[in-house]
Chain A
Amino acid sequence: MDKGFTPRITALLCQWCSYTGADLAGTSRLQYPTSIIAMKVMCSSRVDPVLLLKAYLSGSGGVLLAGCHPGDCHYEVGNYHTRRRFAILKAIFDTLGLESARLKLSWISASEGPKFAQVANEYTDEIKKMGENPSKKKMFL
């Protein structure tokens, strides 16, 4: 592992639950590494697997997708679609020999500031252990 290596974790957060939870982590002054950078989407179900693949191929150390807990989706059932698509994408990654551990799906509600901070901290540690995402160097897309 590179000394002082900090990976970038690209996060796609649904605006109703997980983005709000991430805000709450800040409001509560819970600290987590700057490696994680979030983009707001309307719903986790907006996130086409292609977007996750793109983030991975762009060299993200980790790609985090987070939405409302199953059953709590602001759009009723969006996160069920997300859950299914994510499972399939993971399987595809494994089949192709890509590192599926660089993809993470998490359910973080609007009141779960501490959970967001915890996920950010733990996932950063995990990715640090994995080292740099080699895909950007290997691939020419």
Chain B
Amino acid sequence: MGSKSKSVVVVGAGIAGIQASLDLAELGVEVHLIEDTPTIGGRMPQLDKTFPTNDCSMCILAPKMSECARHARITIHINSSLDAISGEPGDFRCTITERAKYVDPVKCVACGLCEEKCPVKVDDVFDTGLRKRKAISRYFLQSIPAEYTIDKDNCLFFTRGVCKMCEKVCPADAINYEDQDRQLELSAGAIILATGIDPFNPIGFGNFGYHRFANVVTSLEFERILSASGPLGGHVVRASDSKEPKSIAFIQCVGSRDESIGKNYCSSACCMFTIKQAIIAKEHMKDLEPTVFYMDIRAFGKDFDKYYEKAEKKYGVVFTRSKVADIDELPGGNLRLRYTEENGDIKYGEFDMVILAIGLEAREGNRVLSEELDIKLNEFDFYRSDAFGPLESTREGVFVCGAANGPKDIPESVVSASGAVASAAKYLKLERQDIASEDEGAAELDVTGDRPRVGVFVCHCGINIAGVVDVKNVAEYAATLSNVEHSEDVMYACSTDCLETIKKRIEEHGLNRVIVAACTPRTHEPLFRETIAEAGLNPYLCEMANIRDQCSWAHMEEPELATAKSRDLVEMTVAKARQLSSLERLPIDIDPRALVIGGGLSGMTAALSLAEAGHEVFLVEKEKDLGGNMRDIFFNFDKADPQAFLAETIARVEENENIRVFMAGRIDGITGYVGNFETTISGGGNGDAEKVKHGVVIVATGGEEHKTEEYLYGRSSRIVSLVEFEKMLKTGNFPAGRIRNVVIVQCVGSREEGRMYCSRVCCTKAVKNALELKKAKPGADVYFAYRDIRTYGFREKYYTELRDTGAVFLRYTPETKPVVNMVDETNPDSRLKVTAFDPILEKEVEITADLLVLSAAIDPPEGNVRLAKMLKVPLNSDGMFLEAHVKLRPVDFATDGIFVCGLAHSPKDMDESLAQAKAAASRALTFLNKKAILAEGTIARVREDRCSGCAYCESICAYAAIEVDPEKEVAVVNEALCKGCGACVASCRCGALDLLGFSNEQLFSAFDSLEMVITDGGAD
């Protein structure tokens, strides 16, 4: 492979495509993002909330969309498709068609007049047809780019040659009926496909009456109904009579796990999707009775089981294990479900509304695109990839991420997107970048000494704020405050058009302070700061007033008081803003080397990705061999042999000159910060401790099989763990004598008190090994004791295969666990008597087991606690490393420069560990590929004239960032080390210290501005 390029084509601008584009752009690569629809964002904007944190979907996505749109190295092509590729990996030529939009994007100001006047109403695709839009429209309110496009198939001018209303009313002269499709030729070193999924269309499916009965809707439609910015404003009412439903039935697996329609796979996300909707609906309507009809609840992800538990115990969601046969509509619009319970009994239930939890299926366009690109699809029309190349398509240089190669939820899509970037890096010319090349924005204005000129922007956030708070009143009030030069209310402050407005107002009114009264600064302050920086202001001259999360949402029943509080919040923020000053962000040099902790599959993969991108890597493994848990994995569903793959990976690590392995190594201490870590490693062969310097850390400490004490484990040689079972299958060393009855018990240690999580891989692994057993011992009978079978995604077909062999599945609950007794108490090789309850027969069954396999949980390694303390990163309540954001930052920590992957994050399969390891490497490269980054401006400052040099601050600082200069005898702050906590400031006896951005003066002013008694009188 010879050529390398500086650009990449990404197809599909959902969350996966956006993440891949952002990571690539941060590596210095030119990105062309190709999107079929008129906006980037994909499916996420349609979602109301995300599980398991109930974060608002659009709120977490919007900053990423804006970042994508603003990034100088990302070019977005909407209404476009990739039609053909030629050339070689590293030097592809891509043919792109940009379909005509009939609105000039440069001229369009997104005023919306055309849409208002357009006489043609069509179903709004974004709102799943629950609302109408016009033939000229914006895809949704926060769409990016903020352009209008004409729907040619419905436009009166294009269909009948009349109207032209939009042209008449457009103040910007942006309508162009002559617009033509355009073809572009783009060169690319690699291509990333992130084309996503289609939701299953249940019209005519089963006897569920979708589209025949008004009150049967899909889960996607229900999501729009729940959404505060949706067609019903978040008020759940049913279509037939606009009444609030009192009972809702959710039907799972509509279009999934169904061989009869060729979908013998699990859509992976719908169980959690439904649990979320049941919880949210219950929050909307306290006396609602939600019931979920399901086969297995597949809550296999991190912290999912706790969410499931919460739905059942706290919210009272009823879960009914059953199969729904059909639905009838009763007079009045209610629906009668006929369903079969586990024991075969037929039951009926009446509900006000029914939600069909529709599956995720391959995009309709996959077939055409795959032929054009000459890549292969799998049997379900998703792009084909395999366990050891989970991000690679069948054509070299073309990568797949997101749900394009199989159903995935949001964090998995983000992981695979970042991972695909690391895979693509091999075809890209990467050079370490200077800060100078980063910031090409306007030169910064010096506002020192200028009178504060404050601009206030009050956000409606759709109805999230404006539904409670009188936004106009707040904006008018702000205008009366001293130093406020401009004030206005805006629909969505974070939308690209509003960001442009803010920049324009800064110029028009000479603003030198900007206040955005909207949501929480935790998520959106970076966006607004960047925006004012683009207009030439120092980013620290922006402040936010949190009138949504801490006002409109928390005071929904008191609109007047909420408005008053919003005014107070704005006034307080203005008071603080008057005192703001420009802060400097100093450069921090980045050491190009990396530390990877853990030499299992994840750690080795991450190390290889970094090493192949030209970075030196220190790889620390606590054992004497590389390979971790994978050393015990011998079988795989794909043809590829895990041990061969492992041997090859180890060889690549050992041969790579950039990787230095510390075998039997131990981390004794880690100090420093992003770009400048120093780690002491002992062991590593020579016994002496050694200090190494590096710019980033990747945590890949793995997991361990839980050592159970249940089910008489350890008492008989015939009781083995799942890992031991796999070894047994490999070596053929079965216990002596007949192996006829084999009982496998799932969830040993998982999903119960003390370990309230699913270990994710055990169902698949047990199914895999049971099938292997059938090969080795065709006469063996398998008894599979389980709670829910969680063979998610394409793993489902192996479960079906095992069922077809005649294996007996015995479901148990925590109350009806199987009971194991020794047949002969004194015999260490005794057979076992297993008593289990069969809910199908509704009676106990007794099995004399020749072998008992226990699928034990995956535990986090004990060392995590120590390592977490050293790195100052958090663990979740189960002892696994806790990422910065469970949805959109799945491999980052809140602390810059530290990343996590593999089982250290949560239990996962080999393909998932590979993808996540590459994702961690890709995120790490976004730092390593820069020579320096800019530090935060919020740091402590010393006023030397006041400092007595007592050094009390030295003893307070947890980061050794402040020291007394022995010559000057005053404290000096190390700007790169200072984290800006302010602990020293409060400790200073002389008042010599202050925290920039949170100075005493600023906080005092804020207090002074507040009315201390609320004189509404109506609060009681």
> B residues touching A (Cβ–Cβ < 8 Å)?
54-56, 283, 520-522, 546, 548-558, 561-562, 564-565, 568-569, 572, 872, 874, 894, 938, 956, 958-959, 979-983, 985-987, 995, 998, 1000, 1003-1004, 1006-1008, 1010-1014, 1016-1020
Contacts and interface: CB of A to CB of B under 8 A. Distances in A.
Interface in A21-43: 22-23, 25-35, 37-43
**Closest 6 pairs (CB-CB, A-B):** A46-B982, A4-B1017, A59-B1012, A26-B553, A26-B549, A45-B983
A37 B1017 contact: no
A41 B1002 CA distance: 11
A37 B1020 contact: no
A33 B1019 contact: yes
Nearest to B523: A23
A48 B1000 CA distance: 9
B1012 A61 contact: yes
Given A32-B554, A46-B998, A81-B987, A6 B1016 contact: yes
A23 B520 contact: yes
A78 B958 contact: yes
A125 B413 CA distance: 46
B424 to A, nearest CB: 35
A34 B565 contact: yes
26 contacts: A3-B1017, A7-B1012, A10-B1010, A22-B549, A22-B550, A31-B556, A33-B1019, A34-B558, A34-B562, A34-B1019, A37-B568, A37-B569, A37-B572, A41-B982, A42-B980, A46-B981, A46-B982, A50-B1000, A51-B1004, A58-B1010, A75-B981, A78-B983, A81-B956, A81-B983, A117-B554, A136-B1012
A4 B1016 contact: yes
Given A26-B553, A28-B54, A48-B986, 8 more contacts: A8-B1012, A22-B549, A25-B554, A27-B56, A43-B981, A43-B982, A51-B1000, A75-B959
Nearest to A12: B1003
A10 B125 CA distance: 46
Given A23-B549, A58-B1008, A75-B983, A29 B556 contact: yes
A58 to B, nearest CB: 5
A55 interface: yes
A77 B1007 contact: no
Given A20-B522, A29-B283, A61-B1013, A77 B549 contact: no
Given A48-B1000, A51-B1000, A26 B1014 contact: no
Interface in A111-138: 117, 132-133, 136
A39 B1003 contact: yes
B1013 A8 contact: yes
B784 to A, nearest CB: 36
Contacts of A74: 872, 894, 981
Do most interface residues of chain B lie in helix, strand or loop, or is the interface mixed?
mixed
Place the interface of chain A in its size category. Answer: 35 or more
B561 to A, nearest CB: 4
B707 to A, nearest CB: 28
Contacts of B551: 26, 34
Given A6-B1013, A51-B1003, A23 B1019 contact: no
A120 to B, nearest CB: 8
Nearest to A24: B549
Contacts of A59: 1012-1013
B1014 A6 contact: yes
Contacts of A3: 1017, 1020
For B54, B55, B554, B894, the residue with the greatest tally of chain A CB atoms inside 10 Å of its CB is: B554
Contacts of B572: 37, 39
Contacts of A46: 981-983, 985-986, 995, 998
B526 to A, nearest CB: 13
A42 B1000 contact: no
A101 to B, nearest CB: 16
Nearest to A33: B1019
For B938, B1010, B1012, the residue with the greatest tally of chain A CB atoms inside 10 Å of its CB is: B1012
B522 A76 contact: no
Contacts of B552: 26
A28 to B, nearest CB: 7
A10 B1011 CA distance: 10
Given A46-B982, A58-B1007, A76-B872, A29 B553 contact: yes
For A8, A23, A60, the residue with the greatest tally of chain B CB atoms inside 10 Å of its CB is: A23
B991 to A, nearest CB: 9
Interface in A42-78: 42-43, 45-51, 54-55, 58-61, 72, 74-78
Contacts of B553: 26-27, 29
B1010 A37 contact: yes
A30 B557 CA distance: 11
A19 interface: yes
Contacts of B982: 41-43, 45-46
Contacts of A140: none
Contact of A54 (B56, B565, B980, B1007): B1007
A38 B544 CA distance: 12
A65 B1010 CA distance: 17
A85 interface: yes
A56 B843 CA distance: 69
A22 B555 CA distance: 13
B987 A132 contact: no
Contacts of A132: 1013
B522 A23 contact: yes
Contacts of B568: 37
B835 to A, nearest CB: 41
B1014 A47 contact: no
B985 A8 contact: no
A87 to B, nearest CB: 14
Contacts of A27: 54-56, 549, 553
Contacts of A22: 549-550
A42 B956 contact: no
Contacts of B550: 22-23, 25-26, 38
Given A47-B986, A78-B983, A85-B986, A41 B54 contact: no
Contact of B958 (A10, A54, A75, A85): A75
B555 A5 contact: no
Contacts of B894: 16, 74
B487 to A, nearest CB: 20
Contacts of A19: 520, 522
Given A3-B1017, A26-B549, A26-B550, A81 B1010 contact: no
Contacts of B565: 34, 37
A4 B958 CA distance: 46
A25 B551 CA distance: 10
B981 A78 contact: yes
A50 B1011 CA distance: 20
For A19, A26, A55, the residue with the greatest tally of chain B CB atoms inside 10 Å of its CB is: A26
A61 B54 CA distance: 33
A41 B998 contact: yes
B555 A31 contact: yes
A31 B551 CA distance: 9
A47 B1004 CA distance: 12
Given A27-B549, A51-B1000, A81-B983, A6 B1020 contact: yes
Contacts of A33: 555, 561, 1019
Contacts of A85: 986
Contacts of B979: 75
Nearest to B553: A26
A23 B983 contact: no
A75 B56 CA distance: 28
A6 B283 contact: no
B79 to A, nearest CB: 35
B973 to A, nearest CB: 14
